[in-house]
Amino acid sequence: MSSRVPFVAALLVLAWSPGSIAADGPPAAVRELQQRALEDRRAYATLKDLTETVGHRFAGSEGDARAVAWALATLRAQGFQNVRAEPVTVPRWVRGTSSVQIVGEQPLALTALEIGGSVGTAGKPVEGEIVAATTLDELKGLSRADVAGRIVFLYDRMLETRDGMDYGPTVANRVQGAAEAAKKGALGVVIRAVGSEDEDRPHTGSLRYVNGVPRIPAFAIGNRSADRLLARLAEGPVRVRLASTAGCQGTAASANVIGEVPGRDPQAGFVLLGAHLDSWDVGTGAQDDGAGVATVVEAARRIGELAERPRRGLRVVLYANEEFGLSGGKRYALDHEADLGRHLAALEADLGSGRVFRYESRVASQDLPSAIRLADWLAPLGIPFTSNDTGGGADISPLRERGVPVFDLQHDAGKYFEIHHTDADRLDRVDPRDLAFNVAAYATLAYGLADLPGELARGDREWPAPSAGVHACEWQP
Q: Would you give the binding string for a copy of itself spanning residues 107-146, x where CB under 8 A is met?
A: ------------------------xxxxx-xx--xxx-xx
Binding to a copy of itself in span 71-90, by CB under 8 A: none
- Asked whether the beta carbons of 262 and 306 are under 8 A apart, the reply is no
Our finding on whether 22 is near a copy of itself (CB under 8 A) is no
Sheet holding 218-221, edge to edge: 108-110, 98-103, 239-244, 126-133, 151-154, 188-192, 218-221, 112-114
Which helix or strand (DSSP H or E) is residue 313 part of? strand 313-319
| DSSP-based helix, strand, coil % in the chain, nearest 5 | 35, 25, 40
**How far is 114 from 96, CA to CA, in rounded Å?**
9
Q: What number of chain residues touch a copy of itself (CB under 8 A)?
A: 51
Which helix or strand (DSSP H or E) is residue 29 part of? helix 28-39
Q: Would you give the binding string for a copy of itself spanning residues 205-244, x where CB under 8 A is met?
A: ----------------------x--xx-xxxxx-------
Our finding on whether 7 is near a copy of itself (CB under 8 A) is yes
Binding to a copy of itself in span 166-185, by CB under 8 A: 166
384 or 464: CB nearest a copy of itself? 384
Of the candidate spans 323-331, 340-348, 363-371, 395-403, the one that interacts with a copy of itself by CB under 8 A turns out to be 363-371
Our finding on whether 17 is near a copy of itself (CB under 8 A) is no
234 or 307: CB nearest a copy of itself? 234
Of 66, 239, 311, 373, the one binding a copy of itself by CB under 8 A:
373
Q: Would you give the binding string for a copy of itself spanning residues 311-330, x where CB under 8 A is met?
A: --------------------
Q: Which one-letter amino acid corresponds to residue 309?
A: R
Binding to a copy of itself in span 416-455, by CB under 8 A: none
Binding to a copy of itself in span 377-396, by CB under 8 A: 384-389
Q: What is the chain's alpha carbon radius of gyration, rounded to the nearest angstrom?
A: 23
Question: Beta partners for 255?
Answer: 87
Our finding on whether 465 is near a copy of itself (CB under 8 A) is no
**How far is 403 from 134, CA to CA, in rounded Å?**
38
- Coil, strand or helix at 370: helix
Residue 421: Cβ within 10 Å count: 30
Of the candidate spans 33-41, 75-83, 270-278, 372-380, the one that interacts with a copy of itself by CB under 8 A turns out to be 372-380
- Asked whether the beta carbons of 320 and 256 are under 8 A apart, the reply is yes
Which residues, other chains included, contact 8 with Cβ-Cβ below 8 Å and sequence gap of 6+? none
Binding region for a copy of itself (CB under 8 A) = 1-3, 7-8, 11, 23, 131-135, 137-138, 141-143, 145-146, 155-157, 159-163, 165-166, 227, 230-231, 233-237, 365, 368-369, 372-373, 375-376, 384-389, 460
